[in-house]
Amino acid sequence: MRVTLVRPAALFLAAVFLGISLVGNASAAERIDDPLSVEISTGDVAAFYAIYDAADGRPDAEALQLYIDGGSPGVQGFIANRIVSAENLAAVVRANRHLYDTTRECASALGGVRERVRAAFLAMKELYPEATFPTVYIVIGANNTGGTANSAALMIGLEVVCRPSQIDASPIDVRLTHLIAHEAVHALQQGFGDGSLLSRSLGEGIAEFIGALSSGRPLNAHLFEWTQGREAELEQRFAEAMYGSNSQAWLYNGRGTREAPGDLGYWVGYRIACAYYERASDKRRAISDLLKSTSAREIMARSGWGPGRLCST
């Protein structure tokens, strides 16, 4: 898949005022059964850069409101807590112009992402035959979210994936595939609702685990290297905190360093999910359990997980 970033700003603005979408006719309400028919929409990227170019890289809030108003269901789903508003997006773009210039170059190198994602979705369908798949929207956001999903749409913030300081040196289409697989699992999960560290970490860990089975690698693969030899120590700390609601030391706290890794809840959650899967005689049933369960405590109890327990999957 190649994204062609042209400069038809006048055409884009006219289309917005006429109520015409330049992103295609994908519907956020539609999930499909066939992984080979999944749509990966990149029109929002072209729409953003039409406005960006027309403003010589300095679009104001008024111009970016047109991007938001004319955006796909992916852009609409990315507004709350992410884009927030046209004013916020304009301020972020203004403060990070080099990143948004770099993202344009990154977008032109998306290469085989469509084929890779469809292959990962085929594997996910084999693991979980009930799986259905939403449209994948690749959008431009406010440099704060790489991806998110709901039951109807999967949204990727390209500027975050394209940041120059990535730990993962893989090509952009490979990195995107792992991220999309992770978020696609979230869109299938029933979810744990008690707000505990265990529930939130296991929710992310299940997405890491099934995403890895589907795409070949977890999204946060570096954590497995950074934690090597310290598994029991780190997981003991997690076990002591897991029934509480404070997750600040474990989730969404940045990537950290090799000595003090961030987002370790993803890693622990993966290992609990892995333990559950490895203990099960019926592997497809185990995948279904992980996706449909609403009790993180039950999954953990049945997994046999404990600090330092080996996981080979």
Q: What is the pLDDT of residues 76-114, one digit of tens each?
A: 999 999 999 999 999 999 999 999 999 999 998 888 899
Shared domain for 43 and 156, answered yes or no, is: yes
Q: How confident is the model at residue 132 (pLDDT cuts 50, 70, 90)?
A: very high
Shared domain for 151 and 211, answered yes or no, is: no
Report the Cα 203 to chain-centroid distance in Å: 13
Greatest Cα pair distance in the chain: 61
Mean pLDDT check: name the lowest of 95-99, 147-151, 165-169. Answer: 165-169
pLDDT at 176: 94
Residues contacting 98, CB < 8 A, separation 6+? none
Mean pLDDT check: name the lowest of 78-92, 156-170, 176-190. Answer: 156-170
Shared domain for 263 and 170, answered yes or no, is: no
pLDDT at 29: 52
Residues contacting 255, CB < 8 A, separation 6+? 167, 222, 261, 262, 263
Shared domain for 129 and 247, answered yes or no, is: no
- Are 269 and 292 in contact by the 8 Å Cβ rule? The answer is no
Residue 277 inside a domain? The answer is yes
Q: How far is CA 80 from each of CA 20, 145, 148, 152, rounded to the nearest angstrom?
A: 23, 11, 11, 16
Can you give the residue range of the structural domain that contains 261?
197-303
Looking at the chain, the whole-number percentage of residues with pLDDT higher than 90 is: 81
Q: Quote the CA–CA distance of 143 and 53 in Å, as a whole number.
A: 19
Shared domain for 162 and 230, answered yes or no, is: no
Q: Which two tokens stand for residue 179?
A: 């991220």
- Are 206 and 273 in contact by the 8 Å Cβ rule? The answer is yes
Mean pLDDT check: name the lowest of 26-40, 169-183, 193-207, 287-301. Answer: 26-40
pLDDT at 168: 82
Buried/exposed 209-243: b ≥16 CB within 10 Å, e otherwise: bbbbbbbbbbbbbbbeebbeeebeebbeebeebbe
Shared domain for 92 and 218, answered yes or no, is: no
Strand partners of residue 31? 134
Strand partners of residue 139? 157
Backbone angles phi and psi of 145, in degrees to 5: -145, 125
Residue 135 inside a domain? The answer is yes
Shared domain for 148 and 273, answered yes or no, is: no
Counted domains in the chain: 2
Mean pLDDT for all residues in the chain? 90
Q: Quote the CA–CA distance of 93 and 101 in Å, as a whole number.
A: 10
Instruction: Specify the DSSP element, H or E, that contains 41.
Output: strand 40-41
**Residue with more model confidence, 278 or 312:** 278
pLDDT at 238: 98
Shared domain for 171 and 229, answered yes or no, is: no
* DSSP state letter for 50: H
Domain end position, chosen among 129, 160, 186: 186
- Are 184 and 149 in contact by the 8 Å Cβ rule? The answer is yes
Q: Which of 117, 174, 184, 107 is nearest to 139 (CA)?
A: 107
Q: Mean per-residue pLDDT for 246-251?
A: 97
Shared domain for 142 and 54, answered yes or no, is: yes
**Residue with more model confidence, 64 or 168:** 64
Shared domain for 98 and 220, answered yes or no, is: no
Q: Which of 194, 193, 220 is nearest to 207 (CA)?
A: 220
Tens-digit pLDDT profile for residues 28-40: 458 999 999 999 9
User: For tokens 């490979």, what's the residue?
Assistant: 174
Q: Mean per-residue pLDDT for 201-213?
A: 98
Q: Quote the CA–CA distance of 306 and 272 in Å, as a whole number.
A: 8
| pLDDT exceeds cutoff 50 at 21 | no
**Beta strands of 140-276 (E only): which ranges?**
147-149, 153-157
Domain end position, chosen among 125, 157, 186: 186
Q: What is the dihedral of CA 89, 91, 93, 96, to 10 degrees?
A: -140
Mean pLDDT check: name the lowest of 62-66, 161-165, 222-226, 292-296. Answer: 161-165
| pLDDT exceeds cutoff 70 at 14 | no
Give the amino acid at 305. W
Report the Cα 115 to chain-centroid distance in Å: 18
Shared domain for 179 and 47, answered yes or no, is: yes
Shared domain for 110 and 178, answered yes or no, is: yes
Report the Cα 278 to chain-centroid distance in Å: 25
Q: Which of 107, 112, 105 is nearest to 3 (CA)?
A: 107
Residue 264 inside a domain? The answer is yes
Strand partners of residue 154? 136, 149
